[in-house]
C-alpha cells in the first residue's frame, strides 16, 4: 500500500513538473510604467480584453518560476509548514490561471477580474507565512541563501500584483464609465454591458500616477506615521516629531503611489520611532502639551529633502535618532540574521499583510517590529530600477536615501533566473 502511494506521488510530481517546465521555459514579458500609462489612455474594449489576456498568460509564467525556486530550497526548508503553505497557494493560483479560458467579451473579463481579486485576497497571507517560515529556517539554512530567496519571492510578488491590480483598476473604471455613457441606473443589470458601443473609449491609467507630487506624498506619509505613533503612545495630536519638507517641493514623477508611499512611510516610521525613543525623557519631564505650548517641540524635527534631475528623483530622510548600532548596521537589509530573525516571529500575530502604508490589519501595530520594512522598501525601489540606502552618523542620526527613475521608462527588474535580485543590491 505504501509503495503504491509512493508511486502515485512520484507520478503526480513528474506530471506537475512537466507542466511547470513548459512555463519556466518562457521569459516574463516585462512592462514599464510608461507603457502602462500609454496603454491605459484611450482605453477601448479591444485594448481591455488584450490587457486581460496578457495578465492571464503572464501570471502563470511568473508564478511558475517562483514555484521552481521552492523546489531548489534545501529539503529542511522545503518541509517547513509555512513555506509549504505559500508553495501550495502559488501552485493553486498557477493551475487556475493556466486553465482560465481566453477572455473574449466584457462578461468574460468580469469573471476573470473576480478570479484575480479572489486570488489577491488569498495571497495577502503570503508575507506573514514567508516571514514565519524563514524565521524558523534561520538556523538551518545559510542566511545569504534565504535572503536571496526572499528578495526574489517578494519582487516577483510585487510584479504579479502590479499586473493584476492595474488590470482590475482599468476594468472597473471602464465599466463605470460605460455605465454612465449608457445612462444605466445602479440597480440595472450589468449584463447589459456585454459589449461597448462602437467608438467608446475612456481615459484612465489604473493604479499608476503620471505626475505624482513628491512633497504631497511625503506630507501624507508623515501625517499617517505621526498619527500611528501618537495613538500608540496615547499622545495628543501634533506631539510626534515634525516632518519638514524642503528642496524641490514641486517635483513630480511617474510612479505607483502605493509603492512609493510604502517606501517613504517606512523610512519616516523608522525615524519617528527612534527619535521618540531617544528623546522620550523630554515627554516624561515636561509633557508634550506643555512643551508644545512653550514653543519648544518635544522632539527634534525630521528633515526630508527632495532633489530632482531630469531623469531621477532622490528623497533624503534625515533624523537625529543617534544613529544605528554598529552591531545592527551590517544586517539591516537581511531577513534572517539572528538579530533580525527573532523579529520575524512577530508575524505569528499577523494574518494578512500587503506591504502598503494603509494596512488594514488591526494587529499590525507600529510598536511591533518585524525587521521587514527596510528590506521590503529596497525591494520596491529595485523593482522599478531605483534603490534605498541608509547612512548612519554615530551619535547624531541617520540619513536614508530613496532614488527612483522619474520618467517611467525603466522596465520591471525581474527575471526568470533564480536569485537574480541580490540581498545587497
- Residue-wise pLDDT for 319-346, tens only, equals 999 999 998 898 899 887 766 666 666 6
Residues 45 and 187 in one domain: yes
pLDDT average, residue stretch 116-131: 93
User: Do residue 323 and residue 229 come from a single domain?
Assistant: yes
Higher pLDDT, 335 or 368: 335
What pLDDT score does 331 carry? 87
Q: Work out how many domains the chain is built from and give that number.
A: 2
Q: Which one has a higher pLDDT value, 95 or 78?
A: 95
Of 369 and 45, the structure prediction assigns the larger pLDDT to: 45
pTM confidence score: 0.89
Tell me, rounded to whole angstroms, the distance of Cα 238 from its chain centroid. Answer: 29
Whether residues 241 and 285 share a domain: the answer is yes
Percentage of the chain beyond pLDDT 70 is 85
- Within a domain: 60: yes
Q: Where residue 366 falls among pLDDT bands split at 50, 70, 90?
A: low
Domain identity same for 286 and 218: yes
What's the average model confidence in pLDDT over 32-52? 95
Q: What is the mean pLDDT of the chain?
A: 86
**Residue 227 pLDDT > 50:** yes
Count the neighbouring beta carbons within 10 Å of the beta carbon of residue 406: 21
- Same domain flag for 231 and 176: no
Identify the sign of the CA torsion 131, 225, 256, 352.
Answer: positive
The 3 state secondary structure assigned to the chain is CHHHHHHHHHHHHHHHHHHHHHHHCCCCCCCEHHHHHHHHCCECHHHHHHHHHHHHHHHHHHHHHHHHHHHCCCHHHHCCHHHHHHHHHHHHHHHHHHHCCCCCCHHHHHHHHHHHHHHHHHHHHHHHHHHHHHHHHCCCCCHHHHHHHHHHHHHHHHHHHHHHHHHHHHHHHHHHHHHHHCCCCCCCCHHHHCCCCCCCCECCCCCCEEEEEHHHHHHHHHHHHHHHHHHHCCCCCCCCCCEEEEECCCCEEEECHHHHHHHHHHHHHHHHHHHHHHCHHHHHHHCHHHHHHCCCCCCCCEEEEEEECCCEEEEEEECCCCCCCCCCHHHCCCCCCHHHHHHHHHHHHCCCCCCCCCCCCCCCCCCCCCCCHHHHHHHHHHHCCCEEEEEEECCCEEEEEEEEECCCCCECCCCCCCCCCCCCC
pLDDT at residue 150 greater than cutoff 80: yes
Answer whether residue 423 shows pLDDT above 50.
no
Unique residue bearing C-alpha cell 503612545: 233
pLDDT of amino acid 4: 45
Tell me if 28 is assigned to some domain.
yes
Residue of 347, 316, 343, 228 lying closest to 276 (CA atoms)? 228
Residues 32 and 74 in one domain: yes
Residue 108 belongs to a domain: yes
User: Could you read off the pLDDT of 166-218 as tens digits, one per residue?
Assistant: 999 999 999 999 988 888 887 777 776 778 888 888 888 999 999 999 999 99
Query: Is 32's pLDDT higher than 50?
Result: yes
Q: Is residue 232's pLDDT more than 80?
A: yes
Residues 46 and 159 in one domain: yes
| Residue 383, in any domain of the structure | yes
The per-residue b/e assignment along 180-211, b for 16 or more CB within 10 angstroms, e otherwise, is eeeeeeeeeeeeebeebeeeeebebbbbbbbe
Residues 140 and 286 in one domain: no
The CATH number given to whatever domain includes residue 257 is: 3.30.565.10
User: 246: burial class by Cβ within 10 Å (0-12, 13-18, 19+)?
Assistant: exposed
Q: Say yes or no to pLDDT of 25 above 80.
A: yes
Q: What is the pLDDT of residues 253-295, one digit of tens each?
A: 999 999 999 999 999 999 999 999 999 887 665 555 455 555 5
Task: Please state the rounded mean pLDDT for residues 37-41.
Answer: 93
What per-residue confidence (pLDDT) applies to 145? 87
pLDDT score for 334:
87
Q: Is the pLDDT at 71 greater than 90, yes or no? A: no
Amino acid 296: pLDDT:
67
Residues facing 255 on adjacent strands = 209
Tell me the residue range of the domain where 14 lies: 2-193
Query: Has residue 393 got a pLDDT over 80?
Result: yes
Amino acid at each position: 500500500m505504501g509503495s503504491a502511494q509512493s508511486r502515485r506521488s512520484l507520478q503526480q510530481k513528474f506530471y506537475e513538473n512537466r507542466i511547470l517546465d513548459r512555463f519556466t521555459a518562457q521569459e516574463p514579458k516585462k512592462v514599464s510604467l510608461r507603457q502602462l500609462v500609454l496603454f491605459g489612455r484611450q482605453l477601448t474594449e479591444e485594448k481591455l480584453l488584450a490587457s486581460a489576456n496578457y495578465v492571464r498568460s503572464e501570471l502563470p509564467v511568473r508564478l511558475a518560476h517562483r514555484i521552481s525556486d521552492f523546489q531548489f530550497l534545501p529539503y529542511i526548508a522545503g518541509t517547513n509548514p509555512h513555506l509549504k503553505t505559500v508553495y501550495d497557494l502559488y501552485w493553486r493560483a498557477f493551475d487556475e490561471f493556466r486553465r482560465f479560458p481566453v477572455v473574449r467579451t466584457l462578461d468574460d473579463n468580469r469573471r476573470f477580474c473576480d478570479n484575480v481579486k479572489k486570488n489577491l485576497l488569498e495571497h495577502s497571507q503570503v508575507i506573514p507565512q514567508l516571514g514565519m517560515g524563514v524565521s524558523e529556517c534561520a538556523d538551518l539554512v545559510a542566511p545569504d541563501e534565504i535572503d536571496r530567496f526572499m528578495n526574489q519571492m517578494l519582487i516577483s510578488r510585487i510584479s504579479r500584483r502590479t499586473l493584476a491590480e492595474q488590470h482590475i483598476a482599468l476594468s472597473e473604471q471602464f465599466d463605470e464609465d460605460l455605465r454612465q455613457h449608457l445612462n444605466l441606473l445602479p440597480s440595472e443589470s450589468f449584463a447589459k454591458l456585454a459589449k461597448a458601443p462602437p467608438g467608446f473609449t475612456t481615459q484612465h491609467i489604473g493604479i499608476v500616477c503620471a505626475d505624482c507630487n513628491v512633497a504631497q506624498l511625503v506630507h501624507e506619509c508623515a501625517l499617517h506615521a505621526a498619527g500611528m505613533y501618537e495613538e500608540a503612545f496615547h499622545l495628543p495630536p501634533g506631539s510626534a516629531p515634525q516632518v519638514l519638507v524642503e528642496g524641490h517641493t514641486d517635483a513630480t514623477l511617474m510612479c505607483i503611489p502605493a509603492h512609493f508611499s510604502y517606501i517613504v512611510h517606512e523610512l519616516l516610521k523608522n525615524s519617528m520611532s527612534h527619535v521618540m525613543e531617544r528623546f522620550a525623557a523630554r515627554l516624561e519631564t515636561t509633557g508634550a502639551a506643555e512643551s508644545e505650548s512653550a514653543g519648544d517641540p518635544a522632539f527634534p524635527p525630521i528633515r526630508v529633502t527632495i532633489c530632482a534631475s531630469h531623469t531621477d528623483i532622490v528623497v533624503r530622510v534625515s533624523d537625529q535618532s543617534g544613529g544605528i548600532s554598529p552591531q545592527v548596521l551590517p544586517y539591516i537589509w537581511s531577513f534572517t540574521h539572528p538579530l533580525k530573525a527573532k523579529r520575524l516571529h512577530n508575524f505569528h500575530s499577523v494574518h494578512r499583510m500587503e506591504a502598503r502604508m494603509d494596512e488594514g490589519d488591526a494587529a499590525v501595530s507600529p510598536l511591533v517590529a518585524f525587521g521587514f520594512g527596510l528590506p521590503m522598501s529596497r525591494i520596491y525601489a529595485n523593482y522599478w530600477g531605483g534603490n534605498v540606502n541608509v547612512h548612519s552618523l554615530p551619535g547624531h542620526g541617520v540619513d536614508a536615501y530613496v532614488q527612483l527613475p522619474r520618467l517611467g521608462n525603466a522596465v520591471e527588474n525581474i527575471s526568470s533566473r533564480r536569485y537574480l535580485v541580490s540581498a545587497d543590491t
